[in-house]
Structure 1
Amino acid sequence: MSAVSERGGNRSRPPAADVDPLGDPFLRTRFAVPVRPATFMRRQRLTEHLGQALDTPLTMVDGCAGAGKTLLVADWAAHLEGPVAWLTVDACDQAPGVFWAYLLEALRASGADGIGDVGCPADAGAVDHGLLARLAAQLNDRDRPLVVVLDEYDRVTAPEITDQLGFVLHHAGRGMHLVLVTRTEPTLPLHRHRADGTLTEIRDAELAFTPEEAATLLELHGLRLGHDAVRALVERTRGWAAGLRLCALAARQSGDPETYLKEFEAGQSTIADFLLAEVLARQPAPTQDLLLRVSVLDRFCPDLANALTGRRDAGPLLAGLHRANAFVEHLGHSWYRLHPLFAEILKTHLGVRFPGLETDLHRRAAQWLRRFGPLPDTLAHGAAAGDWEFTARALVDDLALGQFFTGLRSGGLGELFARMPPDTTGAEADLVRAARELSGRDPDHARAHLEQARRELAPAGPGRAAARLGCALLDTLAARLTGAPDRAEHAARTARELGQDIPAGLLDRHPELPALLQTHLGAARLWAGRFDDARTALSAPATGSGGATALPRQDALGQLALIDYLTGWPTRAERECLAALTDAERFSLAEPAGLGLVHLVLAAVAVDRDELDDAQTLLDRATALQPVPPDPVTAAGRVLVQARLHLAHGQPGAALETVGSAVPAAVASPWAENHTALVVSAAHLAEGRPETAVKVLEDAVGREAACTVAAARAHLAAGDADTALDLLDHLPAEEHGGPAVTVRALLARAEAADRRGDRTTARRLATRALAEARRERLRRPFLEAGPWLRRLLRAGAWQEPARSGPDARLRTPPHTVRPAALVVEELSGRERDVLQRLARMMSTEEIAADLFVSVNTVKTHLKSVYRKLGVNRRGDAVHRARELHLL
């Protein structure tokens, strides 16, 4: 305490009446508790928190200018029972003697008992230690503690005053509750108070208005706004009290308050006057320049700020601004951002003071970020600078073209590059244009941009591997969308070769790139009917992890599910579909277009299981999610599922009309042709034309097991059991496919045996078919088999139904029935409601909307359902529920 003299050196003297040590009269307004305005809003949560001040010797209310600190404390103080000594600190209080003279006068003006004449500083620049000791002793002797509020304490910059205040606070004991209202954290030993639990703190974040509080405040100003409008205003102002009040006052003067609050320009408002005067003008010129320049940045670190200012000391300046609550927010790891309104105002001020500088600042920021910062920020500043060739090159060189198709940033990239002028040149600009067209499913327009990019990339040169790799990715996707497998293979080979020239670290940062390449290649191979090769390509993206590869993973799972369905494995296909849906929910990808194929496969499986209502619901959902235009695989899948649903409803004419629509593609797909023939043949059978059904399948026999089996059934319907059996006998076992094909083959053999009068063999084969079908829950093959099967089954002694409900006409032998697992606890009605919607493949959000409950309520019901059924996943829950006949 250098300013505190030794005992006997600088004696305090009795004060002259109403005069400070400088001889000036005391300004009584500085002792008055501020009056709250008529629109003041008491916030109970803050008042209750501030009430803890009476339990701790020190309270600090620390917030930015206009945060509502003073009014909060004034309202609290006005409702206290005992006296309150209030002092609003002034800039002239830097001299210790003046500060303590005012504080002592505030104590006397409060009317508190027990504060005797401890004296008054005689020297404006120093305080007698004895005076401070006497003050502390008198406070310590009080029966009731005295509340002392120092408002605008951030104006105190002399460290000796803070030391002296700490001395009095410590020795006053429980005789004083000190409340500091400040914009900056004082240099008192706060860490000790925090450790001892003797400090009450209310900081800037707590002072911010919540949306509910803001709505009440606006109502006090005569404004009633919708919930979304209030939330948007709070987001823009960060709940800043002064900003909300000034906005409310200005909006009251407009004809349309809600539109005004949504669209007002902060740089041209009364808020600008407040912040420029209260925050910017208080800073020295170099700091003002720093704030103006970083206003073009959404976030910044010291090195980036130095790059924009040409300085080297941005680090301590930014840290100081943050500590001073100067509307500079610390994001952690040395990154900062400006308060949104402050940034808007500074940017407007920048344009007035330095016209044209903003573009140069964006360019400098983009160049710095290209080397040291995140790509999204690089692109944003490159675009803001109008340097589109740089921006497109940054995206392509970073191997980020794939992000147009991953769902995480695709929308933002599309909007950003929609502003790119058509005269922007360069291979990278053409690749970006092609990516935008392909993300909109327009390969025809993308083709011209890809050709132009290829011409520009043709000359060999260093540093173009990334662009060539991006071109190969887009070529693969274009080939998939147009049904051109050979072009997809060529593009994929090119991509593999180029990958060797790309730094491994760069590839590791973009796992979506190989995932997209393999997924598109797999789809092209699937279209070509090369199922094993397609599985090879799809296996890696289907087993990937992470949000960046979520959409390729769901796409790959949907394609694998389609392959399994086409080869006769419906349950395996269903599991892959459920895995894709679970993944989508995990990453909050609300119904992405990639799930259209997933719902198509689930609809096809539902048709085979004769769950026709569910099949229609799934088909409708698939149609809603289907990209426009769809790729050939998805388009063909939808046609076939719709046609099979028509057949199941007894509408063969509609089925024939549906499959008559062509799927545009560069080459025909063998499986699409084969399955179209299956539908056409089945429709002719349903209309009583077996000879035509046989003719339709002539070319397909031997190409696919399902077609051979269907041809055998057509021959049976035509009365030619010998040819049917010959076809089935020459069907190699390894080509029979999965259970769905096996069941139909067994039923065809059983029908042939029945026609020959061999009922024993027929029953044995039908029994095997029922056992095989039960594992997959297949019903359509039996319903389509005809009356002979029902007669055969009724002639037996079997009693166990293959399906519960009124449609259960088919009977299975007892030894094929698996004992049902027990339910740990009976499901409630609401849990059954949730389970039924789960079986329809509805997402958690859809179930909540359908039942008019919250998502959290649905999740609670799901946990209970899982527990009661003894499972951990939604797919297992549906399977278990079906086993228990709960669905």
Structure 2
Amino acid sequence: MVVTTMGVPDETGADPRGPADPCGDPFLRTRFAIPALPATYLRRERLLGHLDEAPRRPLTVVGGAAGAGKTLLAADWAAAHPGRVAWLTAQMADKGRGTFWAYLLQALRLAGVTLSDGVGLPAEAGRVDEALLTRLAAELSARETPVTAVIDEYDRVTDPEIADQLEFVLRHADPGVRLVLVTRTEPLLPLHRYRAAGAVTEIRNDELAFTPAEAAELLELHGLRLPADEVTALLARTRGWAAGLRLCALAAQGAADPRTYLKEFEADRTTIGDFLLAEVLKRQRAETQDLLLRVSVLDRFCPALADALTGRADAELILTGLHRENAFVEDLGHSWFRLHPLFRDILRAHLRARHPGLETELHRRAAAWLRHSGPLGETLEHAAAAGDWAAAADALVGDLALGELLTGPRAETLADLFSAMGPGPGTPATDLVRAALELSRGGLDRALPPLERAARALAAEPAGDAAAARFGCALLRTLAARLTGSSAQAETAARQAVRLRREIPGRLLDRHPEPAALLDTHLGAARLWAGRYAEARAALTAAADTGRAAPTAQALAHLALLDHLEGHPGRAERRALAALSEAEHPGPAVPPGAGLATLVLAAVATDRDELERAEALLAAPADALGDPVTEAQRAIVTGRVRLARGDTEGALEAADRMVLAQETSPWAEAHTALVAAGAHLAEGRPELAVKLLTEPPGGEPLCLVGAARAELAAGRPANAAELLDRIPAHHGLGPLVTVGAALARAQWHGAEGDPAGQRGLVARALREARPERLRRPFREAGPWLPPLLAALPLRALAEGWLLPGTPRPDGTGRVDEPPPMVEELSGRERDVLVRLAEMMSTEEIAADLYVSVNTVKTHLKSAYRKLSVNRRHDAVRRARELGLL
């Protein structure tokens, strides 16, 4: 090693002033040499700035793991302060107190510190006189300029007496001496006192870790230029560890493809492995080595879990000690620890080599302990790693987490994990997991056999046993019934699930509300398919109100479809957008519910005659569940868009698309017939259109409107009037129905020779359609309508949104309609808007709602964003247009 010496030693390494070692041996000059910096050393000014505090504070501690860059950092700083720094590498500390102090005195003298003969020298290797320390402290305290003593490898000082003596001299020599300790372990000094007095500078592992910018610069010194994301990935593996980065860089220099090497290197096959085994693992006692090897199978661990793997009860003491020694054991807080990633990789490889087959048993033990005391995700990972699929499935089902395989942020992770399960074993839990996996992929036929097998096995269990598994089975059967289009079977399975929930401990239900929400979602979707709107809305609203992202997204999507079926496109749009917002949480690429929400938006775009947008939405990927509600809606919207494009053949083809289901859906049948009838009407076949819309779906309001239009086209206005009179007059019907009905009645009035009545009904239709921007009903009304719209006063009602706008008097052109809402308003935001419409001030709203003014401002800001406005007046006006007030 290249060294820089302080003093004038001769060529043999002995000091010319003669032997001062109490054993009579010459001093070794390497103990006083500041280590030379390698050519690829990176100077880090932020850390040198911390060390610049050393001459102003009694104590500085540079503490970190082996290879953290402590020594080179201290050497860089010391070399910049010649004549003011004494350097000592404490490799002789185990030879006794006298030897340690003899070396420290010599380091001070070589740094130019003049000590009188009265200070003396230790006479014995194992002890030092207190009088010598007193005289030394007294002489140092008299110095005008303090000397800084750097003691490297201070972790070798394990004798508490040496630490006490050093602290005595430091305290009494102040301000003539400053101490810098470079150590792997917590130094044997009363640091708490120095911290309380603000008299210590500490540079620890976290600060020694390289930042992204520093890592990139270090790699450049080795001739390696990496993109920022690859530097970040390397830092994640090395945790910014200096030696790890340097060794990686050196190894990559010799690789054929350095960038690929740095991405894929195996730590145990590099010099990093040799370094950590020699510097960390082999320095530990046999019990500690055994513990480290065993916990290497874990990403994190606590003492109790480590004890479960070792079969001993000493983990807490060992782990605390390892962390204190900076032995690559990181404290996560709350008695949890983890290994440095590279150290963990090396230990795992060492474990496989030293104890073949033990890794599987350790994973099994970890899964068993975590099943009762740890997170479910870690339990499943270790059970899977052990190949114990029965235990993994039992944990998933027993924790009421079976629904997470179907939807939610962990769905893909769990699916990947259990995809490796294979055909065996055949327990009720594994069969339920297999069924859930198939259902999540849309494989209903493959899901039914294991689901029924599990149901038979669970039915043979004593009453009260395996309640969670029975509930999971009922939940999956409800979903299967929904996917087969059987509302009766869904109701039966749901009733069984509700009954079984009473047998599950309340604490488990409180921790996992998702299954109940999923149950309501599946039941609501089945009821919607059956056309039982009120019951469907009740179940879906209950699911949406849980606030759980996955069930909420599905429930909101189905509620959006309900809104659209009842003729409220604006409300349907807002719910669909809310569903997509919920579905944005991490999870499957196309979460369940997202596909249906997108189809509802496509239907609304069609209502507004925004056909390009509708086609783009139809082209979006579908989710995997493939339930009949979604498939029917896709066929209906596809047919409507093709019909709007004039492609009657394509519309009929879409309407004829078969949706496999055990029960017929009245609304799906009605709306499919409406598409087909529209195609026949466009082709001049009104008789066929009438037949399609009156037999059998004649009670659906939109079908009655369509049939009335067909009767008018066939020249039978009396029949049209009778059909329109059958439309129920209640407040549940939205503008999609009422606008179409008004236009059909207007056409009838025209046929009856009543132009005034006709214009009045068209005006009413225009007023109702404008807030929702419903253009399609006017496009489909027939050739009788355009001449009416071209003349005043109807033209004024249609301009700017249905007909091209006319320029304003100032020549700036028409004002476009405001954009639609992008997100549903919360309940509290609606409360604020109601009070805003009553002309209440912000302070009055806050007082009325018992919230702060700042809270009201936050709600207003959010409401403005959602309504696409910037002012109070505009917010109220926009809310009224959207039917929110």
- TM band (smaller chain): 0.7 to 0.9
Shift of 1:238: 1.8
Matches of 2:601 and 2:869, distance apart in 1: 13
Partner amino acid, structure 2, of 1:277: A
1:595 matches 2:586: no
Matches of 1:671 and 1:133, distance apart in 2: 99
Match of 1:186 in 2: 187
**C-alpha separation in 2, matches of 1:570 and 1:99:** 86
- The answer to whether structure 1 residue 321 and structure 2 residue 302 are counterparts is no
In the other structure, the counterpart of 2:701 is 705
| Structure 2: distance between partners of 1:47 and 1:713 | 86
Tell me the residue number matched to 1:553: 552
- SS of residue paired to 1:362: helix
- Do the aligned residues in 1 keep the contact of 2:93 with 2:157 (CA within 8 Å)? no
Q: Distance in 2 between matches of 1:137 and 1:800?
A: 102
| Structure 1 residues 778 and 674, CA gap change in structure 2 (3 angstroms) | same
- 8 Å contact 2:438–2:446 — kept in the other structure? yes
Cα distance change, pair 310–797 in 1 and its aligned pair in 2 (3 A): closer
Q: What's the CA shift string for 1:268-323, capped at 9, x where partnerless?
A: 33222211221112212222222122222222111111122222221121111111
Which secondary structure does the structure 2 equivalent of 1:281 belong to?
Answer: helix
Deviations for 1:752-771, whole angstroms, at most 9, x for unmatched residues?
Answer: 22222323222322222222
- Give the whole-Å Cα distance in 2 for the aligned partners of 1:331 and 1:216: 29
User: Residue 537 of structure 1 aligns with which residue?
Assistant: 539
Q: How many Å separate the matches in 2 of 1:176 and 1:132?
A: 13
The answer as to whether partners of 2:412 and 2:587 remain within 8 angstroms in 1 is no
CA separation of 1:218 and 1:525: change in aligned 2, threshold 3 A: same
Alignment match of 1:525 (pick from 516, 524, 527):
527
Counterparts of 1:578 and 1:837, CA distance in 2: 11
Does residue 610 in structure 1 map to residue 609 in structure 2? yes
Deviations 1:245-265 (A, max 9, x none): 222333333333333333333
Equivalent residue number for residue 277 of structure 2: 276
The aligned residue for residue 145 of structure 1 is 146
Equivalent pair of 2:712/2:720 in contact (CA under 8 Å):
yes
Matched with 1:267 is 268
The alpha-carbon deviation at position 674 of structure 1 amounts to 0.5
Moved more, 559-568 or 410-419: 410-419
**SS at 1:150's partner residue?**
strand
Q: Deviations over 1:768-827 (max 9, x none)?
A: 22222233232222232234334334443366454636843799xxxxxxx999xxxxxx
Deviation at 1:131, TM superposition (A): 3.3
Question: In the aligned structure 2, how far is the partner of 1:810 from the partner of 1:523?
Answer: 46
- CA-to-aligned-CA distance 1:118-144 (integer Å, 9 cap, x gap): 332233333334433443344333333
The question of whether the paired residues in 1 share the 8 Å contact of 2:605 and 2:614 is answered with: yes
Letter in 2 for 1:247: C
For residue 873 of structure 1, report the CA deviation from its aligned partner: 6.2
Q: Confirm or deny: 8 A CA contact 1:365 1:378 kept in the other structure.
A: yes
The alpha-carbon deviation at position 355 of structure 1 amounts to 2.9
Q: Which amino acid aligns with 1:775?
A: P
Match of 2:800 in 1: 804
Q: Is the 8 A contact 2:301 2:338 kept in 1?
A: yes
Whole-angstrom distance in 1 between the partners of 2:209 and 2:445:
53
Give the letter for the 1:559 counterpart: H
Cα distance in 2 between the residues matched to 1:284 and 1:408: 43
Match of 1:465 in 2: 467
Structure 2 residue 876 is matched with structure 1 residue 876:
no
Cα–Cα, structure 1 residues 463 and 334, in superposed 2: closer, same or farther, change >3 Å?
same
Range 330-339 or range 168-177, more displaced: 168-177
Match of 2:787 in 1: 791
Contact 1:107 1:115 in 2 (8 A): no
Asked if the contact 1:561–1:574 (Cα under 8 Å) also holds between the matched residues in 2, the reply is yes
The reply on whether 1:95 has 2:91 as its aligned counterpart is no
Aligned partner of residue 26 in structure 2, secondary structure: coil
Q: Aligned residue for 1:734?
A: 730
Deviation at 1:116, TM superposition (A): 8.5
Other-structure match for 1:849: none
Shift of 1:103: 1.3
Instruction: Give per-residue Cα distances to partners, 1:155-182, cap 9 Å, x unaligned.
Output: 1112222222223333333433321111
Gaps of at least 5 residues in structure 2 are 1-15, 808-814, 825-856, 880-885
Q: Is the 8 A contact 1:801 1:810 kept in 2?
A: no
Identity %: 59
Counterparts of 1:112-131 in structure 2, within 5 Å, are: 112=113, 118-131=119-132
In structure 2, relative to structure 1, the CA distance for the partners of 1:873 and 1:604 (3 Å cut) is farther
Correspondence for 2:388: 387
Q: 1:716 to 1:474 in 2, by over 3 A?
A: same
CA distance in 1, matches of 2:638, 2:118: 97
Whether 1:644 and 2:640 are equivalent positions in the alignment is yes
Could you tell me how far 1:93 is from its partner in structure 2?
Answer: 4.6
Distance, in Å, in 1 between the alignment partners of 2:805 and 2:126 is 105
Of 507-516 and 81-90, more deviation after overlay is shown by 81-90
Tell me the number of residue pairs that the alignment of Structure 1 and Structure 2 aligns.
823
- Give the whole-Å Cα distance in 1 for the aligned partners of 2:735 and 2:56: 76
Q: How does 1:73-112 map to 2 (within 5 A)?
A: 73-80=74-81, 83-93=84-94, 95-112=96-113
Change (3 A) 1:867 1:319: closer
- Look up the SS of the partner of 1:46 in the other structure: helix
**Counterpart Cα distance in 2 of 1:644 and 1:339:** 60
Matches for 1:304-703 after TM superposition, within 5 Å: 304-461=305-462, 463-545=465-547, 549-585=548-584, 592-620=591-619, 623-624=620-621, 626-628=622-624, 630-700=626-696, 702-703=698-699
Matched residue SS, 1:762: helix
Shift of 1:867: 9.8
* Secondary structure in structure 2 of the residue aligned to 1:181: strand
Whole-angstrom CA distance in 1 between matches of 2:394 and 2:587: 31
Structure 1 residues 101-120: Cα deviation after superposition (integer angstroms, max 9, x where no partner): 21111111123578887332
CA contact (8 A) 1:267 1:344 kept: yes
Give, in whole Å, the separation in 2 of the partners of 1:751 and 1:92.
106
| CA 644–432 in structure 1, closer or farther in 2 if over 3 Å, else same | same
Question: Is the 1:709–1:728 contact (alpha carbons within 8 Å) kept by the matching residues of 2?
Answer: yes
Q: Over aligned residue pairs, what C-alpha RMSD do you find?
A: 3.2
Counterparts of 2:118 and 2:180 in 1: how far apart (Å)?
23
The within-5 A match list for 1:227-266 is 227-266=228-267
Deviation sequence 1:474-526 (CA, Å, 0-9, x none): 22222222222222222212211221221122222221111111111111111
Distance (Å, rounded) in 2 between the aligned partners of 1:54 and 1:703: 92
- The question of whether the paired residues in 2 share the 8 Å contact of 1:211 and 1:231 is answered with yes
After superposition, what is the alpha-carbon deviation per residue over 1:586-636, rounded to whole angstroms, capped at 9, x for unaligned?
Answer: 67887534311111111211221233333333333xx32x12462211111
How far has the Cα of 1:640 moved from its partner?
A: 1.5
SS state of the match for residue 734, structure 1?
coil
8 Å CA contact 1:802–1:810 kept in 2: the answer is: no
Q: Once the two structures are superposed, what CA deviation does each residue of 1:55-82 show, in whole Å capped at 9, x if it has no partner?
A: 4332211110111111111112222365
Kindly provide the amino acid, as one letter, of the partner of residue 611 in structure 2: L
TM-score (norm 2): 0.87
Q: Which amino acid aligns with 2:483?
A: L
For structure 1, list consecutive stretches of 5 or more residues without a partner in the other structure.
Answer: 1-14, 812-818, 822-834, 842-865
Q: 3-state SS of the aligned residue for 1:178?
A: strand
